């Protein structure tokens, strides 16, 4: 069984998320929206299907990364999140919360051995794509 299938997103804290998005847009060409920037790619085992990763700056006082005190959080794309969470629990991995379901996928958070919070995402790429079409600015 595949566990992690790719990077779903890179999230980091910053004093001014809007300024950061503008800098990356102006200097590195990222197309940004209210959440950050979305990167589209093709699935290696199914090249006709699109998939997505997200780059997103968060306000430096966000609680979203807790209990980690790090300035970043990585989101990994996964398959079969329910089975993965069961396997992780059996392995003694700290599970921070319950699996939450949204129309664009399922999420859960875990901690690695150095207390880095990790977000696991089982995406519904078709819904994710429709959410972001037409919502980008440069």
Q: How confident is the model at residue 47 (pLDDT cuts 50, 70, 90)?
A: confident
DSSP string covering 31-43, please? -B-SS-EEEEEEE
- pLDDT at position 136 is 42
Q: What tens digit of pLDDT does each residue of 106-127 get?
A: 999 999 999 999 999 999 888 8
- pLDDT at position 50 is 87
Read off the pLDDT of each residue in 71-86 and give the average, rounded to a whole number: 96
- pLDDT at position 133 is 62
CATH of 4-132 given 3.10.180.10, 3.40.50.300, 3.40.640.10, 3.50.50.60: 3.10.180.10
Residue 113 phi/psi, 5° resolution?
-60, -20
- pLDDT at position 1 is 66
Residues 110, 99 contacting (CB under 8 angstroms): no
- The candidate with the shortest Cα–Cα distance to 12, out of 55, 53, 52, is 55
Domain ranges of the chain: 4-132
Residues 14, 59 contacting (CB under 8 angstroms): yes
Asked if the peptide bond before residue 67 counts as cis, ω within 30 degrees of 0, the response is: yes
Task: Report whether pLDDT(130) > 80.
Answer: no
Characterize 75-96 residue by residue with b for buried, 16 or more Cβ atoms within 10 angstroms of its Cβ, and e for exposed.
bbbbeebeebbeebeeeeeeee
Read off the pLDDT of each residue in 52-73 and give the average, rounded to a whole number: 94
């Amino acid at each position: 069984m595949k566990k992690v299938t790719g990077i779903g997103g890179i999230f980091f804290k910053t004093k001014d998320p809007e300024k950061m998005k503008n800098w990356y847009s102006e200097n590195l060409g990222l197309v940004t929206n209210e959440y950050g920037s979305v990167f589209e790619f093709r699935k290696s085992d199914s090249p006709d299907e699109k998939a997505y990763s997200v780059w997103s700056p968060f306000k430096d006082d966000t609680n979203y990364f807790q209990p980690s005190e790090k300035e970043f959080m990585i989101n990994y794309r996964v398959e079969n999140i329910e089975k993965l969470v069961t396997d992780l629990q059996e392995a003694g991995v700290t599970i921070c919360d319950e699996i939450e379901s949204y129309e664009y996928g399922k999420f859960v958070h875990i901690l690695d051995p150095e207390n880095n919070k990790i977000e696991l995402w089982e995406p519904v790429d078709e819904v994710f794509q429709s959410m972001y079409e037409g919502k980008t600015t440069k």
